[in-house]
Structure 1
Amino acid sequence: MDNTNRRKFVMNEEATLLLRGLIIGKVMTIVVIGGLLWWFLRPYTLVRKNAVSSSGQSSNPTLISGSTFNSVANVPVGSYNYGGSTAWAPIRQLVDSLIQSDRPELQLRYISPIEGSPGSNSGIRMLLNGQLDFAQLSRPLTEEEYTLAKQQGFTLEQRQVGIDGIAVAVNPSLQVPGLTVEQLQQIYLGQITNWKQVGGQDLPITPFSRNPENIDSVIFPTHTDVSKQQLGSNVQYISSTTEALRQVSKTPGGIYYGSARAIVPQCSVKPLPLGNTPTEFVPSYRQPLVTPEQCPRQRNQVNTEAIKNGSYPITTNLFVIIKQNNGKEEEAGEAYANLLLSDQGQQAIKQAGFAGVR
């Protein structure tokens, strides 16, 4: 091969290599751009996927944007005080820790009351007094609380985010198939005082209760004003659910009611089914019942399906109380409620032992 042909051969090889480099470069550019598009559009894809129901139709579009904690908009930056119902403790432990991990810009600080015990009543009082930016209640707001807010120049909004059941705990040795709601009320009013009156053994009933002003779980209609004086003289008052369950486990005729999430998984007591009539008792736990001997290797789980569909007779709604004052407090309360109402938030609420609202 002469010099001329050799130069032509080398030039052709160089051209071929250059062309290959250009092609490879374009392919790599397309791959990189495609990868970036996939990454940025991934949240939208996940939201759309989660927004499609089993029937193949999209759910309410106002809920689509809140599919995950990261996709909730208008989350303020800063530290905010909150508190209230003791029934919310599992949500504060599990769900709020997940929120803090995904949205660290929203710093949540739980505040206990300086005077009195934690609860819905103290929570709304602290909100009205400016000690909390938003509150967690396990009961609806009262007309008096709405009025007090208006007198201070703002309004209150209650946003439901979950549902809790009211469970009844008795001593594991007690042999009673269940109670009607009316029987439970009569026990705490002092009208039924022996277990033989409701199909059990001849044994005095010892009802335990938190003070009425601190009660988060209500077994009487919300419009009924039941004070400490109206309850039976045999009712023994305790400071916490933990102490109440300890007393019930030591008292053969003991009984206590409270949040299903706080009672059902316990090993030392037995959750008792409730019903509107003696022929329709519904357990607060998922059957079959786990006995104390099987616990803690196994634990009873809350019957969230019955609580959500309304077949369980006593439930209470969980509310985020938002202070509507066009300020940072309102912004924080709105964001917190929206986080709990996202798909991720609702799933976390269920994992905490409550029923979601959707």
Structure 2
Amino acid sequence: MFMSKKTVALGAIAALAAGAAAPAIAQQQINGSGASFPAPMFATWFDSLRNQDGPNVTYEPVNSAQGIRQLVELEVDFGATDRPMAPRTANLVRRGLVQIPVVAGSIAIGYHKDGCDLKLSQQQLSEVLLGTISNWKTLGCQEGPIKVSTRSDRSGTTLALTKSLSDWSPEFRQTVGTGMRVKFPVGTTSSGNEGVRRFIETTPGSIGYVNVPSIKGKVQAAALQNSEGNYMLPNSATGISALEGIRAAEYKPLAISNPPGRDSYPLVAMSWVLAYENGNGVNTDALKQTFNYMLSNPAQSQADNLGYVPLPESIRKAALDQVQLIKQ
């Protein structure tokens, strides 16, 4: 078919205009912030997306509260948290809110005590964080003061931990309670998961709560007693055991406190991405591609390598349905 030079030129101009108006997803930049707990998992996923010519995702691992605040104030394209937003806070999101669980993780009790193979009952963990147990000898290790490290920032990890401890110990519930930032009777505070990890790494005789990827070098993980009396280490297998009983219709727990199962680890929580339901504009497809990838079987299969827990299939499918609620 014959085409004049003028027709070709107009077609080229139209193509350029279309490209400028709707950039390819591979060129799309989206920005998020929030929980530091899932940050290593997010970094792996976002690198994989970038390498597959997907969206260029930038994520700032601050804390859950900061991610929620920035989402409410329309400063980011998405947020992330270690707990779903409560209805009262969710109503502050003017463009509507979609909450999507993307991965689970065990909250590890990290410690730095050479020659100590630490096993803690739930009561002992509560008493360590209350300061009632203050010497390693009480825990069967070589004598020395216990140096506790906790989070100074508003953290979903702290919320999940204190929720479980309050369920386990009436004294902890009465003395410390549950919250994203609480006042522990003892210890040194540090900002973010990395701050606590660094304190434990550099401080012999210390103990604190961190994500599983932080268990390396001088930072060891304590085995925690579960609901059936068995002492379990935090890993993918014990985390999956803890999640197995959750049905798709009930996939919004704050924390899975004392899950049943002989092999279940007792401190497991899910991490969530928070998206706007409406007003996403040119970012809509990039956001949906990003979240669909995070929930894909190839992405979930990477969780175990980093010490996280892949979502059970029922929860994964329910989460994929949530992604479809994101609109332009």
> Above 0.5 in TM-score?
yes
Q: Deviations over 1:110-169 (max 9, x none)?
A: 346xxxxx11111111111111111122222223321322xx3x3222111211111111
Secondary structure of residue in 1 paired with 2:114: coil
Aligned to 1:171: 112
- Cα–Cα, structure 1 residues 214 and 221, in superposed 2: closer, same or farther, change >3 Å? closer
Question: C-alpha displacement at 1:185, in angstroms?
Answer: 2.7
What is the one-letter code of the residue matched to 1:322?
A
Q: Could you list the per-position Cα deviations for residues 80-131 of structure 1 after superposition, in whole angstroms to 9, with x for gaps in the alignment? A: 1112111222123211111112243x2212346xxxxx11111111111111
Q: Does 1:133 align with 2:77?
A: yes
Maintained 8 Å contact 2:240/2:310: yes
Identical pairs, percent: 22
Kindly provide the amino acid, as one letter, of the partner of residue 334 in structure 1.
K
Which residue in 1 is equivalent to 2:161?
A: 219
SS at match of 1:127: helix
> Where has structure 1 moved over 6 Å in runs of 4 or more?
74-77
1:145–1:345 distance in 2 versus 1, CA, 3 Å: same
C-alpha separation between the residues in 2 aligned to 1:139 and 1:305? 22
1:271 equivalent to 2:258? Answer no
Asked if residue 121 in structure 1 is aligned to residue 65 in structure 2, the reply is: yes
- Contact 1:161 1:340 survives alignment (8 Å): yes
**Counterpart residue number, 1:100:** 50
Is the deviation greater in 320-329 or in 159-168? 320-329
CA contact (8 A) 1:323 1:333 kept: no
RMSD, matched Cα: 2.8
- Secondary structure of the residue aligned to 1:86 is coil
Q: CA deviation at 1:267?
A: 1.3
Equivalence map 1:145-156=2 (5 Å): 145-149=89-93, 152=94, 154-156=95-97
**Pairwise CA distance, 1:326:** 4.7
Aligned match for 2:299, one of 339, 345, 348: 345
Cα distance in 2 for partners of 1:229, 1:162 equals: 25
Q: Who wins on radius of gyration, i.e. which is larger?
A: 1
CA distance in 1, matches of 2:227, 2:157: 25
Task: Map 1:30-179 to 2 at 5 A.
Answer: 78-104=28-54, 106-111=55-60, 118-149=62-93, 152=94, 154-173=95-114, 175=116, 177-179=118-120
Contact 2:26–2:53 (CA<8 Å) still a contact in 1? no
- Give me the TM-score of the superposition, normalised by structure 1: 0.63
Structure 2 counterpart of 1:283: 233
Unpaired runs of at least 5, structure 2: 1-23, 167-176, 243-263, 314-328
Normalising by structure 2, we get a TM-score of: 0.68
Letter in 1 for 2:188: Q
Q: Does 1:308 align with 2:232?
A: no
Distance (whole Å) between structure 1 residues aligned to residue 161 and residue 99 of structure 2: 21
Distance 2:60 2:200 in 1: 29
Check conservation: 1:83, 1:111, Cα contact below 8 A: yes
